Amino acid sequence: MLKAFSHLLARDLRLAFRSRHELANPLIFFVLVVSLFPLAVAPSAELLQVMAPGVIWVSALLSVLLSLDRLFKQDYEDGSLDQLMLSPNPLVILVLAKVCAHWLLTGLPLVLVAPLLGMFLYVPDEAIGVLMLSLLLGTPVLSLVGAIGVSLTVAVNRGGVLLSLIVLPLYIPVLIFGANAVDVASDGLSVRGQLLFLGAVLALALSLAPLATAVALRITASR
């Protein structure tokens, strides 16, 4: 199972790097949205500092959502998804490998560039680490939960709107606690509760989301 996981992970990473323009789209979108936001409001340091956690987290959420469609779509169209489901390896492990590849290509770059955008929006130095940690805990949840929505809409042409309707309500708790952690850290208060909640949600998503995705894929493929 470990060999199958590593091979599928490496395969998805290789395929993604062959389409570098698509690979960069979520990161460019993230940077552009956060960078353009100050132009739409008064360029006040105090105002931007207050709004920064929500702006960064909403932009990260939308960036992940923008990239979700390619998680299973290409495999479905070229028949690779059928081969994965016929594989002797557990589909749950293969789904987890694809979700890990998606996070490495989408979520991790957002985590790495977030401190620069945080400083651009006047996030205090003591909150920059919390910003990175909250995104490090929260973005994998976005990929895991998003995989469930993608598995339900993979056979639907132009299912982006339907995908958004499915996953956005499930993203709300992560968005609230992730942004609140940065906001509380900016005030110099403890963020232990918020980070523990994000960690618990991540553990729950790791336990249940791959299984739910595998079941949904089998239901979709059987139609």
Dump pLDDT digits (tens) for 69-79.
888 888 887 77
Which positions of the chain have pLDDT values less than 50? none
Q: Return the closest-CA partner of residue 119 out of 178, 63, 45, 47.
A: 45
DSSP states along 22-64: HHHHHHHHHHHHHHHHHHHS---HHHHHHHHHHHHHHHHHHHH
Q: Looking at residue 39, what is its pLDDT?
A: 85
In angstroms, the CA 216 to CA 72 distance is 12
Q: Looking at residue 169, what is its pLDDT?
A: 92
Per the CB < 8 A criterion, the answer to whether 19 and 48 are in contact is: no
Burial of 214 (0-12, 13-18, 19+ CB in 10 A): buried
149-162 b/e (C-beta count within 10 Å ≥ 16 → b): bbbbbbeeeebeee
Structure-token pair, residue 178: 């992730």
Tens digit of each residue's pLDDT (9 = 90 or more) over 146-194? 999 998 888 777 667 788 888 999 999 999 999 999 999 998 899 999 9
SS3 content of the chain, % helix, strand, coil (to 5): 85, 0, 15
In angstroms, the CA 180 to CA 199 distance is 15
Longest dimension (CA), the chain: 58
Structure-token pair, residue 99: 């979700």
Element (H, E) at 176: helix 160-186
Structure-token pair, residue 213: 């995705």
Q: Looking at residue 185, what is its pLDDT?
A: 94
CB atoms within 10 A of CB 133: 20
